[in-house]
Amino acid sequence: MTQLCDGSIGARSRTGALSFTACVHTNEYAGYRSRSVHAPRPILALVFSAAFRLFVAGIGFTGVAYGEDANTNEMNTIEGSVGYRERIALPPNAEIHIFLEDVARMDAPSEVIATTRIVPQGGPPWDFSLGYDPRKLHDRGRYVLRARIEADGRLLFISTRQIPAFDSAAGSPIDIRVSRVGGAPTGSTKSAPTPDVSLTDTYWKLTEIDGQPAALGAGERELHLVLSSEGSRVHGFSGCNRFTGNYERNGSQLRFSTLATTRKACVEGMEQEQRFLKALGEVARFTLSGERLAFYTGDERLILRFKAIALK
């Protein structure tokens, strides 16, 4: 075996440049030649040590970045109160819902950013703390607060003007005034009687889908539904086909399931039918005020409106 030392190579670390001699060993056996280059062990140890420091530094940097991103997940809060001027009491099952909404788009329904629910104790006003994710806000948004008081899905009070969510002085609570809905029942013995319109066994004519007026379906027929009091069944006309299904109600909570339709194909009404049936599948709760019925999704988006026609 012949040893040749014919060159040098360098490696750089934080302390400067290191130079060492690389020895090339030539092995000759049966016409076979191989070459190998290696450095002294102490130098390799320094190189590996420097690489390890860089690796650890990379982990530390990643950890800092993750921590900074995690801090952006903190929720902000809006403090305020809800009240009304009428000297009447609420029924024991009343609930107050407060919403933070973006109403910047005039051609589309408002977007619900956050919502909270409180059970009123005693008389007005009632304090609330509404948590929201600041990452959902943007410069072009116009953010307002809205409140409503309801009992078993029946609307009792509602705010009638938009309350700016972020225009008040820093740290000042926001006061939301709500107005009584005509004919709404309360805990007072002198309140108006409950409207005769019932959620069940009423012909509910569809008037609005996701903020847009509902059009007539095939054959100039209006879209509608009826919730039967017996068997928790729902049926109606969806724009081209008839549909049936089940519903489940718990207070103001309402869900539809196992919706099925006939299989007609129509020149008109099919697109609206698909929107209507899809919306029914997203319903989570309802409100009822006089002859008006409204369906909301789980994130408090108003998705369907109806007008009542009592069945005879």
Q: What does the pLDDT read at residue 35?
A: 44
Separation CA 123–CA 138 (nearest Å): 37
Out of 102-111, 246-255, 295-304, which region has the weakest mean confidence (pLDDT)?
102-111
CB contact set of 35 (below 8 Å; sequence gap of 6+): 24, 25, 26
Most confidently predicted of 10-14, 29-33, 83-87, 116-120: 116-120
Q: Is the pLDDT reported for residue 47 higher than 60? A: no
CB contact set of 162 (below 8 Å; sequence gap of 6+): 103, 144, 145, 146
Q: Is the pLDDT reported for residue 181 higher than 70? A: yes
What confidence tens digit (pLDDT) does each residue in 190-240 have?
A: 444 445 578 888 899 999 998 888 898 988 889 999 999 888 999 999 999
Q: What does the pLDDT read at residue 19?
A: 40
What confidence tens digit (pLDDT) does each residue in 298-311 have?
A: 888 889 999 987 55
* Token pair in block for residue 203: 């012909």
Separation CA 269–CA 215 (nearest Å): 8
Q: What pLDDT band is residue 23 in, cutting at 50, 70 and 90?
A: very low
Q: Is the pLDDT reported for residue 116 higher than 50? A: yes
Out of 37-46, 141-150, 178-187, 202-211, which region has the weakest mean confidence (pLDDT)?
37-46
By C-alpha distance, which of 274, 17, 1 is closest to 9?
A: 17
CB contact set of 119 (below 8 Å; sequence gap of 6+): 94, 95, 96
Q: Is the pLDDT reported for residue 59 higher than 50? A: no
* Token pair in block for residue 254: 């309402």
b/e per residue 146-160 (b: at least 16 CB within 10 A): bbbbbbbbbbbbbbe
Pairing assessment for the beta strands 292-297 and 302-310 based on DSSP bridges: antiparallel
Q: Is the pLDDT reported for residue 46 higher than 70? A: no
- Give the number of other Cβ atoms within 10 Å of residue 293's Cβ: 24
The 3-state DSSP class for residue 13 equals strand
